[in-house]
Amino acid sequence: MTTHSHAILNMALLSKRGKPFLNAYAFIGAVLPDLPIFVFFIIESIIRKTPGHELWGSLYFTESWQNFFDIFNSVPFILILLGIGYYLLNSERVTVFAWSLLIHCAFDFLTHHDDGHHHFFPLSDYVFESPVSYWDRNHYAGIVAPIERVVFLIASIYLYGRLKTRLARWGLIAVNVLFIASYLLFFFFL
């Protein structure tokens, strides 16, 4: 799923009335598993100037980069963190953060066809091939992508009331306009 969908959905699912400080932890947990991909893009594309087809066609799938991505998408590591947060530290912040990481992995599990992560890294190389993809039109993205936008909009409306600062509310509106407008442009003109 797209990074902004992870952010909005996880915050909507994990927000608690009267505890707006938890939103930040849900947000960080939602985007962290995708950050290594941005690091990959910055290093390979902007610094090393690797051409695009090589970047996503072969380099992305090399073992060293895959391991780097998998560390942040590893269910065993996240469960350890969840256990530490809940039982040892008794910290609501760490627990919400770990839950957000886990929910990210669950949504990705369902929406990646042949580009999923090794969910159980480093214990196993197993990758689930979902029958649907959030971006690949050969695997129902034509249906999944509009559903993702509708869910995104509903989650945003719900979340709006739970955000306390004006900056967060304007950020939420801006990301909705950009996300839905970019989809409509893509849909009508490409």
The smaller minimum CB distance to Zn ion, of residues 56 and 160, is found at 56
Max Cα–Cα distance, the chain, nearest Å: 53
Q: Rule CB under 5 A: which of 27-46 touch Zn ion?
A: 33-34
Nearest approach in angstroms of CB 18 to Zn ion is: 30
Cβ-contact 23, 7 below 8 angstroms: no
Whose Cβ is closer to Zn ion: residue 35's or residue 184's? 35
3-class DSSP state for residue 62? coil
Of 12-20, 61-69, 100-108, 167-175: span binding Zn ion (CB under 5 A): 100-108
**C-alpha span between 35 and 141 (Å, rounded):** 23
CB of 26 to Zn ion, least distance (A): 15
Question: Cβ contacts of residue 68 below 8 Å, gap of 6+?
Answer: 36, 39, 40
- Three-state SS sequence of 78-116: HHHHHHHHHHHCCCHHHHHHHHHHHHHHHHHHHHCCCCC
**Which one of residues 108, 121, 130, 148 is an interface residue with Zn ion (CB under 5 A)?**
108
Q: Which is nearer to Zn ion, 1 or 82 (CB)?
A: 1
Task: Select 1 or 172, whichever has its Cβ closest to Zn ion.
Answer: 1
Smaller CB distance to Zn ion: residue 40 or 86? 40
Alpha carbon 152 to its chain's center: 13
Q: Which of residues 46-75 bind Zn ion (CB under 5 A)?
A: none
Residue nearest to Zn ion (CB): 108
Interacting span for Zn ion (CB under 5 A) from 54-62, 88-96, 104-112, 146-154: 104-112
The two three-digit tokens of residue 92, written as one number: 């609501």
Binding site for Zn ion (CB under 5 A): 33-34, 108
